[in-house]
Chain A
Amino acid sequence: EPEVTQTPSHQVTQMGQEVILRCVPISNHLYFYWYRQILGQKVEFLVSFYNNEISEKSEIFDDQFSVERPDGSNFTLKIRSTKLEDSAMYFCATRGQGAGGQYFGPGTRLTVT
């Protein structure tokens, strides 16, 4: 069964550093999402991406965050200058055309020290 993959599985970075989280979507999926889950809290929507542009973003997704599909396959989330409060699990999700559900990757655990 096709699956969404994410790398790295765990990233440790110092405050103020830039990080890039990577996701490889299911091959025929067109809609891409990033979510985050701070330890012990709800899964929170960050951003959705379709047709090479952001289709919707949450209040969390400020100027420190950006997304792109640099090579038509990978889907990346960049955090320009990480803060301690960015420590969380980051999930990529993808969806095909139409009314299908979202498929989630295993997540990247980001630890900012």
Chain B
Amino acid sequence: KQEVTQIPAALSVPEGENLVLNCSFTDSAIYNLQWFRQDPGKGLTSLLLIQSSQREQTSGRLNASLDKSSGRSTLYIAASQPGDSATYLCAVRDTGGFKTIFGAGTRLFVKA
């Protein structure tokens, strides 16, 4: 049974810092991995999607990497801003299935 873990659970950084959020999954037979952002009481906004055959994806100040064999993904945020404050969720879609399993998220607070 696939399990997804995100570390740290919460993170507070000063504005301008570069930071890394971690996601690990127990079963490496994944189809893809998606990073989302969730603002309080809101829906999920897709940030980056990495296919199982890819190693990384970039969008603006965000870079996500995937090491399928070790069951890990990282989300790198460069030059963090107060507007980046949100919960970041990692979600894994298993091979051959339709189910997507979410981690509990990392709650990020960027101080001005």
Contact = CB atoms under 8 A, between A and B. Distances in A.
Contact of A44 (B45, B51, B102): B102
Contacts of A107: 42-43
A77 to B, nearest CB: 15
A106 B34 CA distance: 17
A58 interface: yes
Contact of B98 (A35, A41, A43, A48): A48
Contacts of A42: 102-105
A104 B44 contact: yes
A2 interface: no
A2 B14 CA distance: 34
B70 to A, nearest CB: 22
A56 B46 CA distance: 22
Given A45-B101, A56-B98, A91-B43, A99 B31 contact: yes
Chain B interface category by residue count: 20 to 34
Chain A interface category by residue count: 20 to 34
The interface residues of chain A, by DSSP majority, are classed as strand
Contacts of B102: 35, 42-45
Contacts of A56: 97-99
A58 B34 CA distance: 20
Interface of B: 31-32, 34, 36, 41-46, 49, 51, 89, 91, 97-105
Given A45-B99, A101-B49, 8 more contacts: A31-B98, A41-B104, A42-B103, A43-B44, A50-B98, A56-B97, A101-B34, A102-B46
30 contacts: A33-B100, A35-B102, A41-B104, A42-B102, A42-B104, A42-B105, A43-B44, A43-B91, A43-B102, A45-B100, A45-B101, A48-B98, A48-B99, A50-B98, A56-B97, A56-B99, A91-B43, A91-B44, A93-B44, A99-B31, A100-B49, A102-B34, A103-B46, A104-B36, A104-B43, A104-B44, A104-B46, A105-B43, A106-B42, A106-B43
